[in-house]
């Protein structure tokens, strides 16, 4: 069993006093030898952290308790033999995933979640427009067959892409995906606000799909870029052999 557990987690939940959470959360993670990044904002929290496998489940439970979340966090778990992060960062942000459009609230309206087991049927429908909401350098590592790359370098450019290229009257059925699901929370909320009728997103993101769908049934091609030293993951969330970083994401 690998000695290091990696948890990719997020939760949209009002945290009006989020700045007060920074130090107790930093102290919790540091005391348990956890590294990675945790972002805090008034809209919730987001991050990927890694630490000793025997401690991580309790650490994640404590994060939820300290933040005052009404329900447990449900991370995407993976394992590794080598530390994927070199240090610990707990940062205060305006948004836990930066879109830059005021008023977008996934707690108010969000697209229809699609389980990995139902995803292939949805994206194989010729009436479905499949959009990769990640940045182009991530798409280069891998994506779903037939997906559109919006050509963005930051998530904040996604609304411009929608306004420029998409039309609710023509694109009646849209499916979107991202690494762990968080970008699609805001992307689908934005699409609904713009008048798109049928908007779907992959529940738990690519990582959930790769964990639950075997290569023999998969429509995924390549590796899924991750923002740590593993670079890219494949089916079963195993690191892709030979994957090397071609983009400075810090």
Paired strand residues for 220 = 144
Active-site residue among 35, 178, 184, 224?
Answer: 178
CA–CA separation, 223 and 241 (whole Å): 10
CA–CA separation, 220 and 233 (whole Å): 12
- Six-digit token string for 110: 């969000």
To the query of whether residue 244 is one of the catalytic residues in this protein, the response is no
Q: Which of 170, 103, 165 is nearest to 131 (CA)?
A: 165
Beta strand ranges found along the chain (DSSP E): 4-12, 35-41, 44-52, 76-80, 88-92, 112-114, 129-132, 142-144, 173-177, 198-202, 220-222, 224-225, 232-233
- Six-digit token string for 242: 């030979």
H helices, E strands: number in the chain:
7, 13
* Chain centroid offset of residue 147 CA: 17
Structural contact between residues 184 and 209, judged by C-beta atoms closer than 8 angstroms: no
Catalytic center residues: 178
């Amino acid at each position: 069993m690998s000695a290091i557990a990696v948890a990719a987690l997020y939760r949209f939940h009002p945290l009006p006093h989020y700045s007060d959470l920074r130090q107790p959360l930093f102290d919790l993670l540091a005391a348990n030898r956890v590294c990675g990044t945790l972002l805090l904002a008034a809209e919730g929290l987001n991050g990927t952290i890694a630490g000793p496998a025997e401690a991580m489940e309790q650490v994640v439970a404590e994060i939820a308790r300290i933040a005052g979340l009404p329900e447990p966090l449900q991370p995407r778990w993976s394992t590794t033999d080598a530390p994927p992060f070199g240090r610990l960062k707990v940062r205060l942000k305006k948004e836990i995933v930066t879109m830059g459009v005021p008023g977008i609230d996934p707690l108010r309206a969000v697209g229809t979640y699609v389980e990995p087991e139902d995803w292939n049927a949805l994206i194989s429908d010729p009436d479905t427009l499949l959009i990769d909401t990640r940045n182009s350098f991530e798409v280069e590592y891998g994506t779903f067959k037939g997906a559109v790359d919006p050509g963005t370098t930051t998530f904040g450019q996604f609304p411009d892409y929608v306004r420029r290229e998409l039309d609710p009257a023509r694109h009646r059925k849209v499916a979107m995906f991202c690494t762990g699901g968080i970008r699609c929370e805001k992307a689908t909320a934005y699409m609904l606000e713009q008048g798109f009728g049928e908007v779907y997103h992959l529940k738990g993101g690519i990582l959930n799909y790769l964990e639950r769908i075997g290569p023999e049934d998969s429509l995924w091609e390549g590796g899924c870029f991750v923002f740590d030293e593993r670079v890219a993951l494949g089916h079963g969330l195993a690191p892709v052999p030979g994957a090397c970083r071609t983009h400075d994401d810090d």
